Amino acid sequence: MSIVETPDVAVDTPQDRLRLAKDAARVTARLTSGQKADALHAIADALVAHADEIIAANADDLARGERDGIGAGLLDRLRLDARRVAGLADAVREIAALPDPVGEIVRGHRMPGGVNLEQVRVPFGVVGAIYEARPNVTVDIAALALRSGNAVVLRGGSAALSSNSSLVAVMRDALEAQGVSPEAIQSVDAFGRDGARALMHGRGYIDVLVPRGSAGLIETVVTESTVPVIETGAGNVHIVLDETAPDDWARDIVVNAKVQRPSVCNAAETVLVLRSAAERLVAPVAAALQAEGVTVHGDETVRALALGVQPATEEDWATEYLSLDIAMRVVDTLDDALAHIRQYSTGHTEAIVTADVRNAERFLAEVDSAVVLVNASTRFTDGSEFGFGAEVGISTQKLHARGPMGLPELTSTKWLGRGAGQVRV
C-alpha cells in the first residue's frame, strides 16, 4: 500500500520546501524498519543505475570549479567518479543494515504509584544541512535521516549544484517507486542564499540544523540560526610524537594522516615532536612527508634538523590547510605539547604516538577533543570507520552529540507513561 502523500500546493519558495518536508516527516516517522531499509536499498540501486548521469553532472561542477579557482582541496571533495558513486551506494546499504534506533528504550522504571515509564528514541522530524562542495554529504545525510525516520532539507552550495540536483532527483525517484513520499528529501539549492537563510530561520519547520564546511560557513550558521544547530568544526588536527614513539609508527601514522586524503577535516595539520625525540624523528618524518609531495612548515629546530623545510609562522599553528602542507614544531615536554593543543586545537581529533602507557593515558585523559587517539592515524575519525555506515558530520560541540554522528544522533527521546487510573496526590 502506497504511503505517498501528494501536496496540493505549488512549490514556489524555499519556505514551501520546508513545509513539504515537515508534512513528509509525519510519514517517515510511521515507516517500519523494513520499509526504511527497502527504501534505502532502492536508493543504492538507483545511484548505481544512474552513475553515468551523476558523473556527467559532476563534470559540469568540476569544470566550473576549475574556472572559478576553488582550489585543489575543494575540487577533490567535489569530485565523483564511478568508484566514489559505488562507494556512496555501498554506504547507503550499510546504513540500511544498521539497527533502527527509533523505538529503542533508553531507560525505564515503574513510578511509586504504579505508572510504567519508558524513555524511547524518536525521530527529530526535519533535519536541515548546509554544506559546501560535498556531493557525498547529499547522499549520506539523506540516507541517515531516512533510516532514523526523519525528513531532510539540503543546501549543498553552488559549487556542487549540478551534482546535488542529479543526486536528489535520483533519490526522490527511488523513494517514489517504493511508495514512500519523495518530499522526505528536499533541496533548497535552487534558491541560492535565500534557501540557506530559510533553513537558518526555519523555526517551526527545521528541528535541527547541521553545517558542514569551512570555518566561515559554520560560524555563519551558528551565529545566524534561530533553529537548534549541531556544530561541526574545522579540523586543526595534531599528532604528538614522544621520546618512545617507534620510528616506523611515527613515520607511517603521520604520513597516512596527512597524505591519504589531505582535503578532509580529519587530516593531520600539525606534528609536535618532543625534544627528546627530535634528533631521531624530525628528519625521517619530514623526509617521508616530502617524498609524498608535502610542504613542511617548521620552527627553527625543525629547520635545523631537516632539509627543505619552510619557515613556520604563528598563522601556521592555527591553520587547517586541507592541502599537502603540514606544520611541525619541537616542544620541550608533553606538558608543552598539551598546552599547544589547548591553544590551537579546534576540538576535532588529536593523536599521540608513544610506547609509554603513562603518556598515552595522560593524553587520553587531558586532551579535550571529540576524538583522541593513541598510536593510530587521525583518518580513522569517520562515521564509516566507526561503524556508523556514514556520518551526518563530526560534532565538535559538547551538547547532544560529539564526534562522528550516526543514527542515534539524529533522534531525540520522549517519555511514555502507561497507567491504570492513577492520580497524583
Tell me the percentage of the chain whose pLDDT exceeds 90.
86
* Average pLDDT of the chain, as a whole number: 94
Residue 294 gets which letter from DSSP? P
One-letter amino acid of 205 = Y
Q: Which CATH class is domain 237-380?
A: alpha beta
Task: Assess contact for 301 and 264: CB atoms under 8 A.
Answer: no
Mean pLDDT of all residues in 131-147: 94
% of the chain with per-residue pLDDT over 70? 97
Other CB atoms within a 10 A radius of the CB of residue 70 amount to 18
Cβ–Cβ contacts within 10 Å for residue 315, how many?
Answer: 9
Question: What is the pLDDT at residue 9?
Answer: 47
What CA dihedral angle connects 317, 322, 324 and 326, to 10 degrees?
A: 20
* Residue 6 pLDDT: 42
State mean pLDDT over 35-51: 98
Q: Which CATH class is domain 14-104+121-232?
A: alpha beta
Domain boundaries, the chain: 14-104+121-232, 237-380
Q: How much is the pLDDT for 11?
A: 59
Report the alpha-carbon angle 214-217-218, nearest 5.
90
pLDDT of amino acid 183? 98
pLDDT in tens, 3-40: 444 444 455 899 999 999 999 999 999 999 999 999 99
| pLDDT grade for 132, boundaries at 50, 70 and 90 | confident
Place of cell 605539547: 337
pLDDT value of position 2: 41
Report the pLDDT value the prediction gives residue 10, as an integer from 0 to 100: 54
Task: Assign 324 a pLDDT band (cuts: 50, 70, 90).
Answer: very high
pLDDT in tens, 149-180: 999 999 998 999 999 999 999 999 999 999 99
Model confidence pLDDT, tens digit, residues 325-342: 999 999 999 999 999 999
pLDDT of 265 higher than 60: yes
246: pLDDT strictly greater than 70: yes
pLDDT at 7: 44
Query: Is 234's pLDDT higher than 80?
Result: yes
Pairing of strands 116-123, 411-418: antiparallel
Window from 255-269, 327-341, 390-404 with minimum mean pLDDT:
390-404
Annotate 136-182 with DSSP letters as a single string: HHHHHHHHHHHHTT-EEEEE--GGGHHHHHHHHHHHHHHHHHTTS-G
Segment 172-220, tens digit of pLDDT: 999 999 999 999 999 999 999 999 999 999 999 999 999 988 788 889 9
Is it the case that residue 74 has pLDDT exceeding 90? Answer: no
- Average pLDDT rounded to a whole number, residues 365-386: 96
Please report the pLDDT score of residue 162 as a whole number: 97
* Mode of pairing for the β-strands spanning 208-212 and 268-274: unpaired
